[in-house]
Amino acid sequence: MMLSKIVLCVTPKQATVGLWRLGKLVSCTAFANNGSGREEFRQFLQHHPNVPIQLIADAVEEDFRPETMPHAFGGARHEMVERKLNQLYRNTSYRTAQFIGREADKRRDDLFLFMSLTNPDIVAPWVTAAEELQAPLAGVYLLPVVSQLLIKELKLKNADLLLMSRQSAGLRQTYFSGQRLRVSRLTPLAGMDERQINKLYVSETEKTRLYLVSLRMIARENRLHLVFPTAEYVDAGVTQQLEQTQGVSCNIIGAAELARRLGLNADLLKRYPDMLHMHVLARSKPICNLAHARQTRHYQLHKLRIGINIASAACLSGAAIVAAANLFSAADLNQKLQEAAAQTRQQEKLYTEVASNFPKTPLPGNDLKAAVELAKKIGELNRTPQRLMQVVGETLDIQREIQLNRLRWMFSEDANARDDEGKGAAPSGGVAIIAPPSSSPTGLYEIGFIDGEISNFSGDYRAALASVNALAERFKQNKAVEHVVILQQPVNTSSFANLQGSTLDEQAQQLPAAQFKIKIILKPGMTT
Amino acid sequence: MMFTAHDWRKLQLPLITFGVTLIIATLLYSTTDARKTKMQQLLQTQQNSLNQARQRYQTSGEEKENIVRYLSAYQALVQQGFVGEEQRVDWIDDLRNINIRYKLFGVSYDIGAQQDYKPAFPLDIGNFKLHRSVMKLTFAMLHENDLLTLFQALPGEVNPPFMLRDCTITRVSGGGRGKFVPNLNNSCEIDWLTITEPPTAGDQS
């Protein structure tokens, strides 16, 4: 029922009901505007639940009033319009206003057309019936407002247009200025025969023209363009009379032409005169709803339900599309996987054929190579303290006053390794930081720590210092040595340390030992 | 628009439908996406295997050359104890022989438990697992050349790769000048390195 629509045209005498589905008229019927007619309408609604209903009111008890208001927008405009509606139409809830445009004067006020159904009783029973059945009433519209949609549908673009139509309620004449509704009249035709009605066409047109001139809606010299869409046969004499009416040009659109332009059955149009407007409303986006929000509550709920259902469908459809894409992609990947697996098997088979001629081996050739080269590499890293001993021996042979107490050799990744056991690990005697040597290609350093003392020390610290410094200098001059640092001097002459002793030291029998410590880093060398 | 209890009842079914739809959509998406992701991973793995198989076949000539060239050397390494279990008893025997042959004052040894080893210096261990046992040797010496004699003898007597890492020679206080009295003490630290075969090995014919 989502794409169905019921349009109801209510007049004081009857109500015509049509059901549209996908913009096509499905069924049409008329009910008398009395208790039994409304009961039939109820039954009709029960047969078509949850179908939005649009109601057209066509009655003499209507009012159109153009008004100007100071230019405003948003909430202020809405408030002013509401106030004006309350002021103009206190006794009816079926009222609304249509913004027409701005005035041309300096103030450029807003121009509105206020409209109402001044006798709500005409539509109230029908609205109540819909409300009781919780049918979604979408809106209540005045027939001249729907005429505004009709002239758009018929593409009538005349500046001063008088649309005349024969409705079940009577003869309707609606004036449009610049395609905007300005005023409308309904003349009941009850009790008149065709001859009288034909006369009425002419007389009412003349009256309307004079009325518009009196309201200064058109100038006296302006020509009013009369358009008369009708399914009824119009006598040629009437057409001639209408065209001869002063200041009026006439265009009668016959049943066949209407049926062609609007896609309606001509016979149906003759049978139900209100069908023209009902059909236009069923296919267009309506404007100027007179119904109060509480009357369209079920319609709002209906829209919300449809919205949720659409969201559900969209969600499911989206997920289904994505899921289908995923499955398609997975199938494609599976195909590629099978192909890759087959190719892998083929390559393995080829390799197995080739490998059958290989010598028997516990490991792949690459691993054999890696193991052998690893053993070779570790073998190349084999070092002994021999080079350090040579360097120390050669130097001490020259400086015989030095006695070697301890020699430590390290083969370490850390060039800044410390001799934890020996004394004076921290540099002293003016050497603050051990400069890092140039990087070793193997990542390992041969490091030596030399602990010694001055033999037969007499207490001459100056001579002892000179001797140790000379030793360090000789180490530096050795081609196998990369770096030398004195970690401990025979005496600490730093201003940042305590220095104790006695001037009688030289005469003392027991002198403290003049011990020192030197660190050497050897240049990267070959295996010894 | 304020909703009444009646309105909520009217909206109940669409809302439940929407909720169920959301769950179904989520399940649809997550299951198919998981399948797609799994297939992508499988394909990636398979393509890696294919590349390896191709590479293996293309380098089969080199493979054969490596086997011919390195197999005997590798078997020798297994024999020497570099590959596989440490042969500690052989090592102790060899050390004892060196001590007797070179008339040393006796060598004390302390071999620590074997551990996995990741050297801090660059060393390509391939697919193998490298292990290290830290060994401490302590012995007295008449002369510093005894140290060199011992370590020069080691590669001849004992084949597994060793790395001498630390040696400290200390003068014996009051050491005499006698011919058979030790003058120096020495303490050395040696890394005993061994490797084990990669777990995937053995699929060669």
Give domain limits for chain A. 4-61+119-308, 386-522
On the CB side of A15, CA atoms within 13 Å amount to: 28
Q: Taking residues B27-31, what's their average pLDDT?
A: 94
Percent of chain A with pLDDT over 70: 93
Longest Cα–Cα distance in chain B = 118
- Own/partner pairs, A15-21, CB within 8 angstroms, 24+ separation: A15/A41, A15/A126, A16/A168, A16/A272, A16/A274, A16/A275, A16/A278, A17/A41, A17/A44, A18/A272, A18/A275, A18/A278, A18/A279, A18/A282, A19/A48, A19/A51, A20/A279, A20/A282, A20/A283
**Rounded Cα–Cα distance for residues A9 and A419 (Å):** 110
Q: Which amino acid is at A33?
A: N
3-state secondary structure of B187: strand
Q: Which of A115, A134, A133, A132 is nearest to A57 (CA)?
A: A115
Distance of CA B62 to the CA centre of its chain: 26
Selected residue of B15, B27, B28, B58 to mutate for chain A interface (largest A Cβ count, 10 A): B28
pLDDT for A364-413, tens place per residue?
A: 888 999 999 998 888 888 888 999 999 999 998 888 889 999 999 999 98
Give every residue of chain A whose pLDDT is below 50, as ranges: 422-433, 528
- For the domain covering A4-61+119-308, report its CATH number: 3.30.420.260
**Rounded Cα–Cα distance for residues A73 and A80 (Å):** 10
Residues of B in contact with A378 (CB under 8 A): 123, 161, 163, 193
Q: Is residue B71 part of a domain?
A: no
Beta bridge partners of B169: A407, B186
Supply the DSSP symbol for A121. Answer: G
Strands B162-171 and A180-187: unpaired
CB contact (8 A) between residue B63 and residue A309? no
**Rounded Cα–Cα distance for residues A520 and B129 (Å):** 34
**Rounded Cα–Cα distance for residues B83 and A371 (Å):** 8
Q: Which amino acid is at B84?
A: G
Residue A433: the pLDDT is 46
Indicate if the alpha-carbon torsion angle B77, B82, B86, B89 is positive or negative: positive
Contacts of A335 (CB under 8 A, 6+ apart): none
**Rounded Cα–Cα distance for residues A450 and A473 (Å):** 14
Nearest to A305 among B11, B43, B62 (CB): B11
Q: Is residue B121 part of a domain?
A: yes
CA distances from A439 to A176, A408, A487, B177 (A): 99, 21, 22, 43
Compute the nearest-CA separation of B156 from chain A (Å).
12
CB contact (8 A) between residue A378 and residue B32? no
Number of domains in chain B: 1
Q: What is the per-residue burial (b if ≥16 Cβ within 10 Å, else e) of A329-357?
A: bbeebeebbeebeebbeebbebbeeebee
Q: Which of A261, A296, A299 is nearest to A280 (CA)?
A: A261
Phi-psi region of A170 (alpha: psi -120 to 50; beta: other; left: phi over 0): left
Compute the nearest-CA separation of B137 from chain A (Å).
14
CA distances from B177 to B103, B140, B172 (A): 18, 15, 11
pLDDT of B160 strictly over 80 = no
Q: Which of A191, A151, A144 is nearest to A167 (CA)?
A: A144
Contacts of A233 (CB under 8 A, 6+ apart): none
Decide if A383 touches B, using CB distance below 8 A: yes
Cβ atoms < 10 Å from Cβ of B68: 14
3-state secondary structure of A196: helix
3-state secondary structure of A82: helix
Q: Is residue B32 part of a domain?
A: no
Which residue shows structure tokens 């050669």?
Answer: A394
pLDDT-based confidence at B202, cuts 50/70/90? very low
Compute the nearest-CA separation of B141 from chain A (Å).
13
3-state secondary structure of A140: strand
pLDDT-based confidence at B201, cuts 50/70/90? very low
Terminal Cα-to-Cα distance of chain B (whole angstroms)? 82
ipTM over 0.95? The verdict is no
Which two tokens mark A76?
């202020």
**Rounded Cα–Cα distance for residues B11 and A309 (Å):** 10
Residue A435: the pLDDT is 53
CB contact (8 A) between residue B193 and residue A337? no
Q: Is residue B130 part of a domain?
A: yes
What's the CATH code of the domain at B154?
3.30.70.60
Which two tokens mark A497?
């340390």
Q: What are the helix (H) ranges across A67-215? A: 75-88, 124-132, 143-153, 194-214
Residue A427: the pLDDT is 46
Residue A441: the pLDDT is 79
Residue A450: the pLDDT is 94
**Whether the Cβ atoms of residue A134 and residue B4 lie closer than 8 Å to each other:** no
Tell me the Cα Rg of chain B. 34
Nearest to A383 among B14, B42, B164 (CB): B164
pLDDT of B167 strictly over 60 = yes
Helices A386-398 and A461-477: angle between axes, nearest 10 degrees: 130
On the CB side of A419, CA atoms within 13 Å amount to: 29
On the CB side of B191, CA atoms within 13 Å amount to: 22
A-to-B residue pairs, Cβ atoms closer than 8 angstroms = 250
**Whether the Cβ atoms of residue A459 and residue A508 lie closer than 8 Å to each other:** yes
Residue A339: the pLDDT is 96
Q: Is residue B86 part of a domain?
A: yes
Cβ atoms < 10 Å from Cβ of A194: 12
For residue B173, what are the domain limits?
A: 82-196
Selected residue of B70, B146, B157 to mutate for chain A interface (largest A Cβ count, 10 A): B70
Contacts of A214 (CB under 8 A, 6+ apart): none
Nearest to A347 among B53, B126, B164 (CB): B53
